[in-house]
Structure formats: C-alpha cells, structure tokens
Amino acid sequence: MDDRIRAHAETLVDWSARVDPGDDVVVRVDEGAHDLAVAVAAALGDRGANLLATYGSDEMTRAYLRAHDGDFAPATAERTLYERADVTLSLRGSRNTAATADVPGDVRNAHARARRDVREARLATDWVSTVHPTRSLAQAAGMSYEAYREFVYDAVLRDWASLADEMGRVKTRLDDADEVRIVADGTDLTLSVGGRTAVNSAASVAYDSHNLPSGEVFTAPVTAEGEVTFDVPVTVEGTRVRDATLVLSDGDVVEFAAATGESALADLLATDDGAKRLGELGIGMNRGITRPTDNVLFDEKMAGTVHLALGRAYDACLPDGETGTESAIHVDLITRMGEGSRLLVDGDPIQRDGRFVWEGA
C-alpha cells in the first residue's frame, strides 16, 4: 500500500476524528474509496475501535431512487445505527461524478426530506468527511490521476497541529476585531465583524471542523461596504462563473457582473433576501493547496485566498440569540490575494501580497 494512503487514514482517525478504544465507528465507503477504507480499517483495528462499513454507492442510490415512487418510509434502523454510533467517517471517492445525474429532482428531494432524522443523527456523531483521490475526481479537476493524487495528499498530509496554532492567531485577531478590509486587484471591501466569533477550521472534531483537508479561518460579517472581484472560477448549479464582481452597500449587493456565467449569478442573488448579503468571510490557509480544482471544499482552503459566501451564516460564528444572514443558499466565491494585496484587521495589515506578516519572505 502507498504510504500516503496509510498516513491519510491515520490523520483521519487520530487527528480528525479522535477515535478512542471501544468507539463504534461507521465508515462510509464510496465506490472508489476501497484502498483508503482498507487503511482506515487497519488504523481502527490498531486503536481498538469497532468498525461497521457502509457502502456509499452512487450507482445503487441512482437505481434505488429511479425505481422508487417517492413516498419514503422512515428509515428507523439506519437512524438508530447513527444514534448509537460514536464516530462517522465518510470516505468520498466517486467513480463517476455524474452517476446520479438522471435521478428526478423531486424524488431526490423527497428522499432527503424523509432522511432528515438520519442525517441529524449522523451529524450528532463525531463525523469527518474526506476525499480519496480517484480517476473520476482527477478528471473533474482537469488533472492526470498521478498529479491529482499528489495534489490531494499535499492538501491532506499537513502538520495540522502547527497549522491549528497559526490559524488560532488569526482567529484571535478576528474575534477581537471590529473591521476587516480586503484590498486586492478589483477589490476594496470593508466588513464589520464586531461581536462575531471566528472558527479555527483545523480538520478535527476537536475544532468543530469536519472536513479533511480543511485549513481556513472563517467568521460571519455583520455588514459590508465596497467592491470585490472573485478571480477564482466557481461552478454554480452547473454553470461556470468567472471574474464575478459585486458592489455592496450597507451589506446588500447593489451591483454585480461576471465575465462568464452572469445570469447564473443573477439567479443566485435572486433566491431570497439573504442571498444578496454575505454569510461568511473565510481566509484560506492550507499551503498544500496551490491551485483551484473546481471543488469548493479544496479551493476555498487555498493559501493566499479569501472567500465570501452569499447567503446563510454558520451558527458557530454568531453570539447566542443573534441570527446572522438567513437564506436557502450558501455559495462561496473566492479571490486570490496576489501581488499588492493587503488584508487589514482594524487597519493593521495581517497579510501583504498574499503572505501573512509573520511568514518569512
């Protein structure tokens, strides 16, 4: 076995999920994630945990949903499983990212609604989701299989303890701050963040962070003023959006444009009132992620970028009793902090030219 697969499994079990002896661990294995699943099984055996593997087959899901009339019964047995489980590890690794493309949307939605209690029970365990590099995911990223594997392991196999310390410094600065200003090519945006709490997303349940890789610090802005250009392309509901620009006044998007995909952006902004406001300011700090791969879970963690989400804010960032932006959507848009850029906290630069002031040159 590739040593990197073994290291990935150990990072997942020890750093991310903090598995203890005797824990009941559910491992969800996607069709293409077998090799990682074998390594995870070894790590769980070594730690003395219990292992139940479930099979996350997109082709089974497609066949099941296409045959079903959409009137779903409660999934009591599966809910009970997660109610009793301590940890859930999702090993994503598709063999075809379009495998469920021909499932009718109404059946898919009815299935999701009927399984809300299963999902809640699963999210109440110490859950972590990770990605095993497959040929299908390499294809989606526009990369060769070998290059994609390098890319994923560079992102996953970090010195997480050290990164968590560094991200803790950024969190402290944001927690204490009233205002963050982002200055870059096509961007001069001021966000008020007073009273909000930042999350140190260090790829571990100990940090309330549930994706491996992670590597970002994020908070929920109260309001925003200025202009921003997103030069990292993103895919919104199947449409590629490039070089989107927003003008915000008193927290609301008042003007917008995009080099491509402008109508998709328009549809997005029209979803509801909250879709025109920002729910998240995130600062990417994973230095293993050096290029976008059209997968927002990686792209938004890229070191030297910041991202802003249109729509819903995360509860973890809000003081008790306060609601942030509420919306049916949460769509991340990403901008590179290139040459000449600055990230200022209460007027004090913490990043210049895409590098934090405490980094060497």
Cβ at position 44, least distance to its own copies in Å: 6
Q: Phi and psi at residue 268, in whole multiples of 5°?
A: -60, -50
Among 3, 60, 109, 146, binds its own copies (CB under 8 A): 60
* 22 is a site residue for its own copies (CB under 8 A): yes
Among 12, 13, 17, 44, binds its own copies (CB under 8 A): 44
* 190 is a site residue for its own copies (CB under 8 A): no
* 68 is a site residue for its own copies (CB under 8 A): yes
* 129 is a site residue for its own copies (CB under 8 A): no
Locate the DSSP E strands across 231-291: 234-236, 239-241, 244-249, 252-257, 278-284
Angle of helix 116-123 versus helix 76-84 axis, rounded to 10:
10
CA distance 51 to 155: 26
**Which lies closer to its own copies via its Cβ, residue 64 or residue 358?**
64
Among 14, 78, 117, 154, binds its own copies (CB under 8 A): 78
Among 12, 29, 189, 199, binds its own copies (CB under 8 A): 29
Q: What is the 3-state secondary structure (H, E, C) of 61-78?
A: HHHHHHHCCCCCCCCHHH
Tokens of 340: 């000449």
Q: Report how many residues bind its own copies under the rule CB under 8 A.
A: 50
Among 8, 10, 31, 280, binds its own copies (CB under 8 A): 31
* 71 is a site residue for its own copies (CB under 8 A): yes
Contact predicate 273/296, CB 8 Å: no
Region of 149 on the Ramachandran plot (φ > 0 left; ψ -120 to 50 alpha; else beta): alpha
Instruction: Look at strands 216-219 and 278-284 and give their pairing.
Output: antiparallel
Q: Which range binds its own copies by CB under 8 A, 60-68, 138-146, 161-169, 313-321?
A: 60-68
Cβ at position 102, least distance to its own copies in Å: 13
* 65 is a site residue for its own copies (CB under 8 A): yes
Other Cβ atoms less than 10 A from the Cβ of 133: the count is 28
Tokens of 50: 């219990």
**Which lies closer to its own copies via its Cβ, residue 43 or residue 281?**
43
Among 57, 100, 190, 235, binds its own copies (CB under 8 A): 57
CA distance 208 to 334: 23
Q: Alpha helices of the chain — where are they, by DSSP H?
A: 3-10, 34-47, 58-67, 76-84, 105-114, 116-123, 135-141, 145-156, 160-176, 262-269, 296-299
* 72 is a site residue for its own copies (CB under 8 A): yes
Q: Which range binds its own copies by CB under 8 A, 55-63, 212-220, 254-262, 338-346?
A: 55-63
Contact predicate 19/52, CB 8 Å: no
Q: Which range binds its own copies by CB under 8 A, 68-76, 189-197, 293-301, 320-328?
A: 68-76
Cβ at position 146, least distance to its own copies in Å: 23
Q: Which range binds its own copies by CB under 8 A, 24-32, 163-171, 218-226, 302-310?
A: 24-32
Cβ at position 129, least distance to its own copies in Å: 17
Cβ at position 57, least distance to its own copies in Å: 6
**Which lies closer to its own copies via its Cβ, residue 30 or residue 280?**
30
Whole-number Cα distances in Å, 148 to 9, 12, 40: 18, 19, 21
Instruction: Look at strands 305-311 and 278-284 and give their pairing.
Output: antiparallel
Judged by the rule CB under 8 A, the positions of this chain that interact with its own copies are 21-22, 24, 26, 29, 31, 34, 37-39, 41-46, 48-57, 59-61, 63-69, 71-78, 80-81, 83-86
